[in-house]
Amino acid sequence: MRRILIDSVTHGPLTEPPPQPDAAMLAELAASLERASRAKLGRSLSIREVDAGSCNGCELEIHALGNAFYDLERLGLHFVASPRHADVLLVTGPVTRNMREALERTYNATPDPKWVVAVGDCAVDGGIFAASYAVAGGVNAVVPVDLHIRGCPPPPAEILKGLIALMTTAR
């Protein structure tokens, strides 16, 4: 008995050393953990709204997204006061000549990666104001647009659909 005790103290264990984790398995686990963490934590977008010359009809529908019925914040969508905090520029209206520079500066102030969503028929191509001398064109005429949400104005549910589609593909 004494010898067994001395042997167990002076020699290491006789069992096999544990194998090192497999690199491919670790990579698979890391990918699935990343997917899970994105699903839990990465589903949010910060939105800066820019009225580039709208009649305010589109804004009324966008404001409705914050009411108790649509409650967009529960979905991880937030309006922010500065383009520097934004992932998405939500732009309404035809771009008037007076607002052109403001839209360009807002776009340049938004950090990459960023997305531009044009809301309403006017934002697509100028809509009913397209022929006006005061209009530079749709949003695409001034900054690159990633998503168009059509309608005059588009209802809140349509705007929400577009934002959710963006949130699920952009991340």
d(CA 152, CA 74): 26
55: contact with ligand SF4 by CB under 6 A: yes
- Residue bearing tokens 């520097």: 84
Q: Which is nearer to ligand SF4, 70 or 170 (CB)?
A: 70
106: contact with ligand SF4 by CB under 6 A: no
135: contact with ligand SF4 by CB under 6 A: no
Site size toward ligand SF4 (CB under 6 A) is 13
Segment interacting with ligand SF4, rule: CB under 6 A, options 75-83, 95-103, 118-126, 158-166: 118-126
Q: Is the CA virtual torsion 54, 56, 60, 66 positive or negative?
A: positive
Nearest distance, CB of residue 143 and ligand SF4, angstroms: 17
93, 123 contact by CB (below 8 A): yes
Closest CA relative to residue 115, chosen from 82, 144, 73, 151: 144
156: contact with ligand SF4 by CB under 6 A: no
Segment interacting with ligand SF4, rule: CB under 6 A, options 20-28, 31-39, 50-58, 69-77: 50-58
Burial of 38-63, coded b for 16+ CB within 10 Å and e otherwise, reads: eeeeeeebbbbbbbbbbbebbbebbe
Site residues for ligand SF4 per CB under 6 A: 54-55, 57-58, 92-93, 120-122, 127-128, 152-153
